[in-house]
Chain A
Amino acid sequence: AQTVTQSQPEMSVQEAETVTLSCTYDTSESNYYLFWYKQPPSRQMILVIRQEAYKQQNATENRFSVNFQKAAKSFSLKISDSQLGDTAMYFCAFTKDFSGGYNKLIFGAGTRLAVHP
């Protein structure tokens, strides 16, 4: 069975600085997808970034980038130039390859990020 582990329950960062959130996962699948979702106090789960396991290149979305280490089964999220609006819970999630139409998401326990002025 697949599992997702986020070892940092809480983190804090100063505005404009860089922070890295950690995620490790366990799977025997060769192809899969990894995601970072953000859940602000408004509780809407928002997709931040996604990575396809067969792609070597790390995904980036503006200030958000990932460090995907497939052999180590590690998938960290780097937030550059942190902004107050980045304050939220961040969830790492896994789904196996979509062939056959099965795409349930398996989530980690989350990391609560606080950005301070």
Chain B
Amino acid sequence: DAGVTQSPTHLIKTRGQQVTLRCSPKSGHDTVSWYQQALGQGPQFIFQYYEEEERQRGNFPDRFSGHQFPNYSSELNVNALLLGDSALYLCASSSGQTGETQYFGPGTRLLVL
């Protein structure tokens, strides 16, 4: 049973660039949530996708956008990167019907120079 997968594992970008991170949910899950974890802090909720629509959004600017595909995989896009966007980006999946419990992927470490 495949767990949550994310790609790439590491990424280095420069200020002003754009980045796309990818996530495939655990088998049987249809909901994907994205979190940003700054160094030494707890994860912060960015947004959640269900049925290819953004269902909830945290306190993040519009530079952060996402997409969910018919196979339930998801992308997180960040435009006009800032130094402060450097963080570990975690994807979590759950069931849209019963899914109060979220299962996390290994994360993508983004460094903005």
Contacts and interface: CB of A to CB of B under 8 A. Distances in A.
Interface string B12-44: 000000000000000000010101000001111
A105 interface: yes
A99 B55 CA distance: 13
Which 7 pairs, one residue from A and one from B, show the smallest C-beta to C-beta distance?
A107-B42, A45-B104, A98-B100, A104-B45, A44-B106, A33-B100, A103-B100
Interface of A: 4, 33, 35, 37, 42-47, 50, 91, 93, 95, 97-98, 101-110
Contacts of A108: 42
Interface in B52-74: 55-56, 58
Nearest to B58: A104
Contacts of A95: 100
A109 B33 CA distance: 19
A98 B43 contact: no
Interface size class of B (residues with CB under 8 A): 20 to 34
B98 A105 contact: no
B99 interface: yes
Interface of B: 31, 33, 35, 41-45, 48, 50, 55-56, 58, 88, 90, 92, 94, 96, 98-107, 109
B62 to A, nearest CB: 18
A35 B100 CA distance: 10
Contacts of A107: 42-44
A107 B45 CA distance: 9
A92 B82 CA distance: 29
Contacts of A50: 101
